[in-house]
Amino acid sequence: MTHTSEKHVEELYVDGQYTVGIDVGGTFTDFFCSHNDGQSQTCKTPTTHYDLSVGFMKGMSLLARQNDQTVEEFLSQVASVRYSTTVGTNALIERSGPKLGLITTAGFEDTIFIGRGRSWADGLGWQEGRDQARIEKPEPLISPDMVVGVRQRMDYSGKIIAPLKKEDVLAKVQELVDKGAQGFVVSLLWSFINPEHERLIKEIIEEEYPEDYLGAMPVILSSDISPKSGEYTRTMTTIVNAYIHGVMADELNKLGNELRDGGFKKPLTLVHNTGGTKKASRTRAVLTHNAGPVAGLHGSAVLGNLTGDENIVFTDMGGTSFDIGLIEGGEIKAHDFLPVIDRWRTNIPAIEVKSIGAGGGSIAWLNELMGNALEIGPQSAGSMPGPVCYDQGGTEPTVSDADLLLGIYNPENYLGGEMLLDEDLARDAIQEKIAGPLGISAEEAAYRIRRLVDARMGQEVFNEVALKGHDPRTFVVLACGGAGGAHACGFGPYIGAKKIIAPRQSSIFGAYGASTMPIKEVWDKSHSLKLFNWADQSYLNDLDSFNNLVNELKDLATRDLRLEGYTDDQMHFKLELNMRYGSQYNMTKVRAGRMNVRNADDVKEICDAFTKLYGEIYSPEATFPAGGINVENFTLTASVASTFKMPIPMDMHGAEPDAAAKREARPIFWSPEKGFEETPVYDYDLLLPGNKITGPAILESRETTYVVEPGWVFTMDAYRNCIMELGVK
């Protein structure tokens, strides 16, 4: 393996004026362009689900125009394009992936169909989960007739008990090919300890169907994708990866070709749900799931570093969903050990971001089974046709339709006037579907829609913070997403928030976050070690069993970063261990203070760190080191620091906004008791750092609207962020 020179690294990733972050959402695709001098531009385009490259290149054209350049001139100066995509998730939802065959250990062909105890409820919202009489297991990604078992067996230590026979593999592969398999997933028992048999099966298949044959088929091994314990989750992780792999490859190849034709000569970089980015060619497809919200969460930590806020609850209200994540002490600490992708439980090392169906496009409807109770979502109008007011064929009233009817949005200044909204269509839909059946006015129905979605979001935010053992009142709310600034004062009080930050990049915050992320490789593997043995109260003696595994993961991560074009001295490593007491089921992730252990004192240091963290989470009384301490999984993170340039703070001005920032006041429906009230409206782009405005007020920028509700006070900070505080004079 040759090492790439530092000069090549600079040419590949640093040379260039711009870094472009892109976040594909259900309704809009967001773009954030950062300059080497700390300046930036943003734009949004409707997500073109029929062909994502159309909206993608339209956004690039808009950024080029903002920089007074042609697309070719602009792309030739772009150092990095960081892309978070929903292509894989859409393939799962639409079941548009290839027909796959699964090869597993004979006798275990039904594992993925039996599933786990609650696999029938995985991926369902709380409403569907309550309706147990109607719940059905999801349609499997691989049907039972496409699963075969080969005769082989290993024990828990990786020792071969029954050898694998080539003729058996060939017969089973031919059976799958005859049934139309377009790819193979291989998941054998204990392969995460010893992958020999899985690799042998891959060799046999590739020998039978080599790459230069038209019938060549991809082979995905569980020992490569998910070398972790848990037969069901390991197999499902590999299946999900294989299912979306081909769809993503086709889409990314098309995007890559469009970029190269436009003058961009660097590799396309993908955002991962592990909190970093890397080249598309070095990416496991399954790691792109939920990448946009994770990028936004990472951007929250960066923004918190600027504003001096360490405890932040990140929220993103877009067109389809409402995302929630936590920054604790300035860091991202919450990880989802078994994240659900669509309806499938997996074991990828993902950062935890919770999502619910509550966005501007969420549909309002009456639940007849509950006495015509008003409900919001989880169904969404998406971008096509979108809310009724978009006048693109939508017929179901949405949250955005309600906001428009209440006067929150200016129908002639949506997206800077590029998209005109039709208030009459919104009124008619709300009147027909909600107000009429309830016997109330359309405005009151719209008010109820707005307050109900605020309550749902507020309750979810409270649960996310409080159930992790924190006092929600000590957290600052970061309100992002196209609709976040318009609803933050509505859901913020549900956690007792006194301060809300709605960033100036709030409407494209996922794209902003992507621009701030480092290059990162995450490798993890299951291996059970007794760091502290309860039987003789001794610490681990076989230090090589710990160090050899860590070194193996470090070598894999180093290899990938070298292939990215980085040198060893640019790499930073972090080791995290999933640990537990004795035979407990749940694990706690602990950061190790060192990469390797040299003696019993080093092992004791790790055990003490686990006991300390466990006590902080569950109380000191819950700790029980004498019961034994095990490590079950090793996670090694290798990263290269981000080259993102922090913005320079601007000079502060007086509290009174300039007269030029004031727009014509308009009536806003703040409550059924008061009806419409004339409310001041300001041009956000003409406000200056230091300006203060007492609510109620509406602040309009080109890409979003900030609502300062009665009782709240707005201040623009030195970075042009919207700071809203309750009860401040």
What are the mean pLDDT values of the chain's consecutive 10-residue runs (729 residues total)? 31 60 84 85 84 88 92 90 82 83 96 85 72 78 96 94 95 95 95 96 91 76 93 94 86 86 87 88 85 92 91 90 91 84 88 87 89 87 83 92 95 80 94 95 96 94 89 93 92 92 91 90 91 91 94 92 87 94 86 93 95 89 91 93 81 92 94 93 95 95 91 94 85
Residue 132 in tokens:
């147990």
Contacts with 280 (C-beta within 8 Å, 6 or more apart), sequence order: 252, 256, 267, 268, 269, 270
Residue 184 in tokens:
């193979």
Report yes or no: 256 and 268 within 8 Å, Cβ to Cβ.
yes
Indicate the Cα dihedral angle 38, 43, 48, 54, nearest 10°. Answer: -70
Indicate the Cα dihedral angle 601, 607, 612, 615, nearest 10°. Answer: -150
Per-residue confidence (pLDDT) for residue 53, from 0 to 100: 85
Which residues does residue 376 pair with via DSSP β-bridges, in sequence order?
A: 364
Contacts with 134 (C-beta within 8 Å, 6 or more apart), sequence order: none
Tell me the residue type at 684.
Answer: Y
Report yes or no: 324 and 354 within 8 Å, Cβ to Cβ.
yes
Distance between CA atoms of residues 705 and 707, nearest Å: 6
For domain 521-640, give its CATH number from 1.20.120, 3.30.1490, 2.30.30, 3.40.50.
Answer: 3.30.1490
Residue 588 in tokens:
């706690």
Report yes or no: 551 and 603 within 8 Å, Cβ to Cβ.
no
Distance between CA atoms of residues 301 and 307, nearest Å: 10
Distance between CA atoms of residues 110 and 100, nearest Å: 16
Per-residue confidence (pLDDT) for residue 455, from 0 to 100: 95
Which residues does residue 598 pair with via DSSP β-bridges, in sequence order?
A: none
- Residue tagged 């505080």 (tokens): 725
Q: Where do the structural domains in the chain lie, given as residue ranges? A: 18-90+249-288, 96-244, 306-358+455-516, 362-452, 521-640, 659-712
Which residues does residue 519 pair with via DSSP β-bridges, in sequence order?
A: 277, 640
Report yes or no: 705 and 485 within 8 Å, Cβ to Cβ.
yes
Domain 306-358+455-516 in CATH 3.30.420.40? The answer is yes
Please tell me if the domain spanning 18-90+249-288 has the same topology as the one spanning 306-358+455-516: yes
Domain 18-90+249-288 in CATH 3.90.1580.10? The answer is no
Beta strand ranges found along 465-555 (DSSP E): 476-480, 499-502, 519-533, 538-539
Report yes or no: 550 and 636 within 8 Å, Cβ to Cβ.
yes
Indicate the Cα dihedral angle 353, 355, 358, 360, nearest 10°. Answer: 60
How is 302-360 classified by DSSP, letter by letter? HHHHHHT--SEEEEEE-SS-EEEEEEBTTB---EESS-EETTEE----EEP-EEES-ST
Per-residue confidence (pLDDT) for residue 10, from 0 to 100: 30
Report how far apart the first and last C-alpha atoms of the chain are (Å, whole number).
64
Per-residue confidence (pLDDT) for residue 633, from 0 to 100: 93
How distant, in Å, are the alpha carbons of 142, 358, 382, 438 from that of 378? 27, 7, 11, 21
